[in-house]
Structure 1
């Protein structure tokens, strides 16, 4: 009989299995199906039933479960996440570089990094897993759905932590381009330092008083008296940092749906991409000890 360490759920259509632990609780559900419906109540019982019927729920030994399968405390269950309907994102990524440890990708606008909310198949990670057949692919850092440009993925579990630590220790130089209004009274280059905290709603950021926890160097590249192209070098990595920093100067990034005013756009509206691009990334490879530099093939124009 195989043990729990031997079973590795297969990747299905680019989607890796998620694992959930069945805890020992006072009033245990009668079945795994009942537990999943209670634990993940944002997913309908009909959807869970369909996943069982499609053979997408496994126990720790690799046996497919049914809606009648008993809840066995202190064991693991694996399940797959698929959505009946997803909005197709009509833009393609490009692989810029690949070696034994890394996959460097040029992400288009509107493509979410990893499965979340209403996107699974229409995410960069799942597209790449399907393309490479590598279920161990993991983003080392992230870009917003609205942002395009260079992003790194780890190909191997063994070396993933080393590259993640490189980002955690800020040993990576990132350069962004942005299109935003031109204001002749602003003198560049400009170093901006602000304290940023979670705002309301939770997915936006706000500026508060206190010791700065975010820093960006901003340069003016070109302008046409109305719009300007800026080069941004973030020294820290706060959520929405570049968007908040430019907005604080009253030059919000063109087509920003969050700043200065939150605008809820239709998810199928691809007509106005945020004019923010992760243009370049460079670092000394912590395993190969060579200088790495990658540039996006995308361009922002005035």
Structure 2
């Protein structure tokens, strides 16, 4: 069985590890980050969004201990670990910075055989493939796919919806908006930031933002004509994307919702997509493992315009897919 190294132990990296350990899928051969071991251990042990880990957790020099598991830790502030010396085959990069080929290639140069990036690549040339569970993971080619992008949480949420609509009704073009919880790219208080809109306090403002999801979707479906944007809002986690589409075939709300019900219970999207039949708010989907949870009462149709809304826990849902894809690749590389 191939080995996994975890590079980046932030919001996604820690949830990725929680999920992998909960399901007993794998234990990383090594974890690397730029922070000290005791602080990272404390952040893993008690998570604001997802509660306490049920085992003792501690950090000492060069080691993170979770229950009876001793995981070697490497501070990567100065350099990326020598993955070859550590025997690591697959690096899961959760830094959010390996979005260019050069950024991901460094792991290969340090001896890893494959890199799974937990972020959308800037261009298709910056990765070998964008692979999403339930969408196109079966196209993985071990000989040619060395740098693999998982897109973003929004990519995964929208991709499930796009797949169902494309296969049942076709898509001429569309526009999405995602209402997304604030993230670490924003500031807690008003202060100058690289993106000017991020300069205002994240917990006090609705902040327009860009989304790389449309680009990532077009990496999968090259002829797809969809674009969109995001709005960051003051919630700790839990987001919703609204996708407005002109379909190729006429359809009714009932037909669309039936297609989502079927996809959620049968076929490649089972476990990836879910549906809500009742009326809920964002707290309902916190810690939900699905990538995309279609709110059926919000499906609407006006003339040729179809509107679909899908919830997603932008941290937990995405981390579940990331861990599943890592486990999948581990068995096939």
TM over 0.5: no
What is the TM-score with the length of structure 2 in the denominator?
0.23
Q: Which has the higher contact order (CA 8 A, sep 6+)?
A: 2
Q: Would you tell me which structure has more helix in proportion to its own residues?
A: 2
